[in-house]
């Protein structure tokens, strides 16, 4: 995963995005109009393809409420995207999908909507969170979902999990010293978990397995509840989100030990003095934990339509207004992760999560072992 604030727009996945200042007049949105066969900008805007795509509005599905993190992302994206396309962009909140199979069910629904199989309906998703559903629910059996069927357009931002500690702990602000203390005092370090199978807990389980340490684990509820308990001294360490922990860190009740992810996202977000967990523990080739947010599309949309969506997303994520809006949120870093990169991320998480969830007896019976 590569952090950058100036994402490439000339070549994406082998598809040349023509900056066609010298193009002839832009074709209209009529499906019968003769347009380019590849994503092309005219006067700063993407023009419809020869197929007419997008011949109608683009819909962004949010599997949550309007004010959620995904909902804010979708609306900020839609606002900036209006600079780069004349297509109408609508955001549709469908929180009911979140109680079943989340992004997977939203994708299945999207593919059945008008022009959904053409790419006019996309879904906000965070990875590798959605990947864990493949292990804990029958979504693979019931909807034919798999890592390969998740048709990522682009993942455009990454928020690491952070491992925090009560401020007066004997290991201070050192993740390495905390692991050493836990090794010398098995079961004494009180770890407040989001719950077995949750992304933050899978990350911590992976780290504790590799480091050979054992924690005294309790389940603490929401990120806000966990940080409140940690700040009050009711636990020693937790895995949480930067935004949820920030007020407690600022008040001096909680300190940050480390964060998840590759290429030291701690340095980008919190300062060079904070090493990421993978560099401290070692033996981790790809540390997939955290929230990588972007848009996904139904599996079988035409490749040219997929490329057009990639070009639109690239233009938006390079836009200074979008960068400023997103990076003002604690912990958010700008990334580019295409379909192949998203598959690699999912596979890394799936392999680790499978072993942990199998040990906990949480693999769904429909999942092949």
Give per-residue pLDDT as tens, 255-269: 999 999 887 777 766
pLDDT band at 331 (very low <50, low <70, confident <90, very high): confident
Q: Are strands 121-127 and 291-297 parallel, antiparallel or unpaired?
A: antiparallel
In a domain, 237, yes or no: yes
Considering the domain architecture, whether residues 13 and 155 belong to the same structural domain is answered as yes
Q: Stretch 313-329: mean pLDDT, rounded?
A: 95
Percentage of the chain exceeding pLDDT 70: 90
At which residue do the structure tokens 């077995």 appear? 196
> pLDDT tens digits for 199-248?
999 999 999 999 999 999 999 888 989 999 999 999 999 999 998 898 99
Q: Rounded CA gap, 350 and 345, in Å?
A: 9
pLDDT at 145 over 60: yes
> Alpha-carbon torsion 205, 211, 212, 218, what sign?
negative
According to the model, what pLDDT value does residue 210 have?
A: 94
Say whether pLDDT at 63 is over 60: yes
- Residues 148, 18 share a domain: yes
Are both 21 and 101 inside the same structural domain? Answer: yes
Least confident range from 150-154, 253-257, 328-332, 340-344: namely 328-332
> Do 330 and 257 share a structural domain?
no
Domain hosting residue 344, numbered range:
2-159+290-360
Determine, yes or no, domain membership for 338.
yes
Q: What is the pLDDT of residue 34?
A: 62
Summarised one tens digit per residue, pLDDT across range 4-50 is 333 333 333 333 333 333 333 333 344 445 678 999 999 999 999 99
Residues 300 and 251 in one domain: no
pLDDT attached to residue 312: 98
CATH number where 220 lies: 3.40.190.10
Residue 368: inside a domain: no
pLDDT at residue 157, rounded to an integer: 92
Residue 201 lies in a domain: yes
362 vs 13: which has the higher pLDDT: 362
> How many Cα atoms sit within 13 Å of 305 on the Cβ side?
23
Position 78 pLDDT exceeds 80? yes
Same domain, residue pair 10 and 148 = yes
Q: Are residues 166 and 237 in the same domain?
A: yes
Q: Is 180 among the domain residues?
A: yes
Is there a domain that residue 367 lies in?
Answer: no
pLDDT band at 186 (very low <50, low <70, confident <90, very high): very high
Which CATH number fits the domain that encloses residue 150? 3.40.190.150
> Is residue 365 domain-resident?
no
Quick one: 184 and 55 in the same domain? Answer: no
In a domain, 94, yes or no: yes
- Opening angle at CA 228, ends 226 and 233, nearest 5: 95
Mean pLDDT of the residues in the chain: 87
193 shares a domain with 72: no
Q: Which of 281, 315, 347 is the last residue of a domain?
A: 281
Beta-carbon contacts of residue 115 (< 8 Å; ≥ 6 apart): 54, 55, 56, 121
What's the pLDDT score for residue 66? 86
61 lies in the same domain as 190: no
Which of 259, 281, 303 is at the close of a domain?
281
Are 52 and 135 found together in one domain? yes
Confidence of residue 283 (pLDDT cuts 50, 70, 90): confident
Total number of domains constituting the chain? 2
Count Cβ neighbours within 10 Å for each residue of 66-88 and write b for 16 or more, e otherwise. eebbbbbbbbbbbebbeebbebe
pLDDT for residue 22: 33
Domain boundary residue, one of 281, 302, 327: 281
**Does 32 lie in the same domain as 177?**
no
């Amino acid at each position: 995963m590569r952090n950058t604030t100036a994402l490439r727009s000339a070549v994406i996945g082998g598809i040349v995005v023509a900056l066609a200042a010298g193009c002839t007049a832009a074709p209209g949105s009529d499906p019968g109009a003769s347009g380019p066969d590849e994503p092309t900008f005219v006067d700063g805007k993407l023009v419809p393809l020869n197929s007419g795509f997008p011949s109608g509005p683009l819909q962004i599905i949010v599997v949550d409420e309007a004010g959620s993190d995904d909902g804010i992302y979708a609306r900020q994206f839609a606002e900036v995207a209006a600079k780069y396309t004349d297509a109408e962009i609508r955001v549709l909140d469908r929180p009911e999908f979140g109680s079943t199979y989340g992004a997977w069910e939203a994708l299945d629904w999207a593919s059945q909507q008008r022009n959904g199989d053409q790419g006019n309906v996309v879904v906000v998703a965070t990875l590798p969170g959605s990947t864990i559903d493949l292990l804990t629910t029958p979504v693979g059996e019931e909807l034919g979902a798999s890592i390969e069927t998740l048709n990522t357009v682009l993942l455009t931002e990454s928020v690491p999990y952070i491992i925090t500690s009560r401020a007066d702990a004997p290991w201070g602000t050192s993740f390495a010293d905390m692991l050493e203390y836990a090794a010398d005092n098995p079961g004494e370090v009180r770890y407040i978990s989001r719950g077995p199978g949750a992304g933050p807990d899978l990350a911590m389980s992976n780290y504790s397995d590799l480091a050979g340490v054992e924690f005294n684990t309790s389940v603490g509820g929401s990120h806000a509840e966990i940080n409140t308990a940690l700040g009050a001294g009711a636990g020693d360490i937790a895995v949480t989100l930067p935004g949820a922990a920030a007020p407690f860190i600022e008040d001096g009740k909680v300190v940050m030990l480390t964060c998840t992810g590759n290429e030291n996202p701690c340095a980008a977000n919190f300062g060079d003095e904070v090493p990421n967990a993978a560099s401290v523990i070692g033996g981790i080739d790809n540390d997939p934990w955290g929230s990588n947010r972007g848009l996904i599309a139904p599996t079988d949309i035409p490749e040219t339509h997929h490329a057009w969506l990639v070009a639109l997303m690239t233009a938006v994520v390079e836009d200074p207004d979008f960068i400023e809006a997103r990076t003002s949120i604690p912990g958010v870093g700008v990334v580019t992760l295409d379909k192949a990169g998203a598959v690699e991320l999912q596979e890394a998480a799936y392999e680790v999560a499978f072993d942990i969830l199998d040990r906990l007896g949480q693999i769904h019976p429909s999942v092949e072992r």
